[in-house]
Structure 1
Amino acid sequence: MNVLDVSGLGIRTSDGRALVSDVSFSVGSGGRLGLIGESGSGKSLTALAVMGLLPPGMTATGSVVLEAPGLPRTEVIGAAERQLVGLRGRAAAVVFQEPLTALDPLMRVGRQIAEPLRRRRGLRGAALKRAVGEALDQVRLPERAARAYPHEISGGQRQRVAIAMALACEPALLIADEPTTALDVTVQAEVLALLDSLVSERAMALLFVSHDLAVVAGATDRVVVLKDGEAVESGSVDDILHAPRHPYTRNLVTSARHLEGALERTIR
């Protein structure tokens, strides 16, 4: 079963300027797909369109269909907000790049994790408190973190909280939109390893959005390469790394290898 089917997706501004044009891909149950491209390539807008969260003034055309066990197959484009609210969290959930802006600065971490558990799973009282503790444990945070405000914990810990919130309703599809870009290299590796283990344990589908080819290659099985809002190439990670066809993809691969070589020389 495909959890996500995107066909001929287009995104335009209010004055008709095309930001994304004719993008198509699918993600099967348990599959892992990477969207890669430089800033302005349309990858994050594509992820927002999947969730029905495009900024005001932007419109989407084409088809974006989400399907999950226990939920009807739903066309996102043109759907009423009440339909989308029912899908978010259960069919698909998203982890954004900067957790400090995604979290409420005036609400304790435990309460923020509790909200989706209360709304979607109907938990209350001791059962809710226990579920919050379990959610924190799954992302390797101590239970005392529930009492902290977002500014009182580190960036890596905040991103773990955001992951816990996204996974609270056990979505069929997790969208990770540049989830480690704001973190230092060591914390980035820890968060990526955590995401990998959680996605595997829950047999979720993953849509991983990034400008970093090395990160995408480590997190996904298939890749769609975006440039100026268009999909210029797609294929398995192995094909993209070892036999890129489009000049833009070849440049991405060459740049990634040059960076890797420079890092190795610095370490030596």
Structure 2
Amino acid sequence: MVGLIGIAVIFIMVFGGYILAGGKLGIILKSLPFEMMMIGGAAVGAFLISNDMAAVKHTLKDMGKVFKGPKWKHEDYKDLLCLLFELIRLARANPVAIEEHIEDPDQSSIFSKYPKILTDREAVDLISDTMRSASMNYDDPHQVEEVLEKRMDANLHHALHSSHALQTVADGLPALGIVAAVLGVIKTMASIDQPPEVLGKMIGGALVGTFLGVFLAYGLVGPFSAKVKTVVEEDAHFYQLIREVLVANLHNHSTNICIEVGRQNTPSHCRPSFTELEEALKELKQGAA
């Protein structure tokens, strides 16, 4: 919703100000289809040249994040902490019993309580792989933390590719606008024998190319890139929370302390209160009893 409001504000302020200042939309509307074909088409072509098909699909999918926002909400962070609490408590009480949950999460009675987390393969694999390593006595907290850090850095780098791709397009749009404008000037010079009022309209149409390139770059594509980057980085906190809790577990802190470490590392706007989380954990304990 905020994204749609932002786009509406951009168009209203830019074109509304132009009209209120006495500008006429006729020249812009007449030239817009041809200029958009040249600039937009060249931008799409350059985007396809510089990315493989997987990256193209990834970028198109990620553009929806501008309007949807982050995947993980307040309830999801609370659910994650509850899930980790159950897994850690079971692993300490019965190391053998935990194997069925981390080896086949899809059939796990614990993971199945949290369907949204279960559908995220990276979160499930991160939890399962780390707990499996701990069960194999690969329990040096510093080594595990280093491995997890490298894994999450690689995943974040991959996830940010769509943002970089969009920013590259945004950087090139002003230059493509100049290309379209130059072509318009060439067209005007070929009609130099026309009266001034005709030449004026032709020059105005050529300048639409420059305007459109800059407008698309800084008014739409650039902000899209920035928003995608913000959403991807915010969603990355979800996986960082998994790392913090599981590394705390390897340090042999009590289960409640491990979960509190995770709660404290949750982004403030998604962080469940201490009382809220305590109530959720009490319900889990009562259900297990």
- Tell me if both proteins adopt one fold, taking TM over 0.5 as the criterion: no
The structure with the larger Rg is: 2
TM normalised by structure 2 equals: 0.28
Return the structure number with greater strand share.
Answer: 1
TM normalised by structure 1 equals: 0.29
